[in-house]
A and B are shown apart, each in its own frame.
Chain A
Amino acid sequence: MTTSTNKATVELTGETGMHIERIFDAPRERVFAAFTDPELIPQWWGRRVDTTTVEQMDPVTGGDWRFRCESPDGTIVFRGTFREVTPVERISQTFEWDGMPGYVSVDNATFVDLGDGRTKVVTDSLFFTKEEREGMVESGMEKGMNETYERLDELLAS
């Protein structure tokens, strides 16, 4: 089931930042678990066509993470290091993908308990330069753009 009212908002902040907010209809503990539990991550991380394998996941301050996304159009590896993990409240991590090795963004995710059983995830991504911010969006678009209509098909078929 998809809750169509919970749409992500994306804003550019300053020269090199990106601010993303999204509400989930579940308590904070469960949303946080979905972001950190290696059993749960493959069930949602990546595109629908991707098979995501968690190769490494050590969600503690200083720990590393590494996901492999395989699809008919290729394999992409995403990885990074956790700068801070404060259970159910905050995750700060570096993020890079093997298409642009060494180009790292820092993603700070805050899990806000809305007090009614819902959780708002607020993510601030900081890029080193604005060109890198655009590069990230560009690669995301190539990967993700065709999916919207497939999702709509599924929704209409169900």
Chain B
Amino acid sequence: MVQYQQLDRTLAALADPTRRAVLERLSQGAASVTELAEPFGISLTGMKKHIRVLEEAGLVRTEKVGRTRRCELGPRRLDDLSEWMESYRRMLEERYDRLDELLARQDRELENGNKNEGDTK
């Protein structure tokens, strides 16, 4: 269950467009909180809050360097999230594959039915 609480934090962190943009920016390299806040036109305090959410989710790592806080991508990658979704998709896919097979069986039965009908004529 613990890993799902972690996942919940990740999903919450990703739910916000600013935070997603921050991740995109950090994927190009580390930046200070000030550098991150500027392009979004939000206050330093506001950006710090966003960073904290991202940090708690493991998506961002920060380090105090002199008087600034340096931010970079954290240990947690979005791959974890896509793995989770992929597992769910595979579970659904098994059921849907079985439905494919049922529909294909029906196709064959319909085909045979028509053939038999043709034979008797």
Report A's interface with B, CB cutoff 8 A.
1-3, 6-10, 12, 15, 20, 22, 24-26, 30-31, 34, 40, 43-48, 130-131, 134-135, 137-138, 140-141, 143-145, 147-148, 151
22 A-B interface contacts by CB (under 8 A): A1-B100, A1-B104, A2-B100, A2-B101, A3-B100, A6-B96, A7-B89, A10-B85, A10-B92, A12-B11, A24-B96, A34-B102, A40-B102, A43-B102, A44-B102, A45-B95, A47-B94, A130-B11, A134-B4, A134-B8, A147-B94, A148-B93
Query: Quick one: given A47-B95, A130-B11, A151-B94, are A25 and B100 in contact (CB under 8 Å)?
Result: yes
Report B's interface with A, CB cutoff 8 A.
1, 4, 7-8, 11-12, 15, 84-85, 87-104, 106-107
Query: Quick one: given A24-B103, A26-B106, are A10 and B8 in contact (CB under 8 Å)?
Result: no
Q: A24, A30, A47, A137: which contacts B84 (Cβ < 8 A)?
A: A137
Q: A1, A20, A25, A151: which contacts B92 (Cβ < 8 A)?
A: A20
The number of A-B residue pairs with CB atoms under 8 Å apart is: 97
